[in-house]
Amino acid sequence: MEQAPSQCILCNSSERSVLIRQGDWTIYKCTACGLGFLDPRPDNGDLSCLYKNSYFDSQYDEGLLVNSPEMKRRISQEDHRVKFFRRFKKTGKVVDLGCGRGYFLHACQLKGYRTEGIDISSDVAQYVTKELNIPVRVGPIDEIDFEKNSIDIITMWHSLEHTVEPDRYIVKVKEWLKDDGILVVDVPNYEGKMLKKCGINGMAGICPITCIILHQVHWKQSCQNTDSKSRRGRIIILST
Non-local (6+) Cβ contacts of 140 within 8 A are 44, 47, 120
Per-residue pLDDT tens over the stretch 139-189: 988 899 999 999 999 999 988 877 777 778 888 998 999 988 998 888 777
Q: What is the pLDDT of residue 192?
A: 64
Q: Which residues, listed in sequence order, are joined to residue 155 by a DSSP beta bridge?
A: 96, 184
Mean pLDDT score of the chain: 79
pLDDT at position 21 is: 85
pLDDT digits (tens, 9 = 90+) for 83-97: 989 988 999 999 999
Q: What is the Cβ-side half-sphere exposure of residue 10, based on CA atoms within 13 angstroms?
A: 29
Low-confidence ranges of the chain (pLDDT < 70): 44, 46-61, 192-240
pLDDT at position 134, please? Answer: 98
pLDDT (0 to 100) of residue 138: 95
> Can you give the pLDDT at residue 215?
52
**Rounded CA separation 36/162 (Å):** 11
Calculate what percentage of the chain has a pLDDT beyond 70: 72
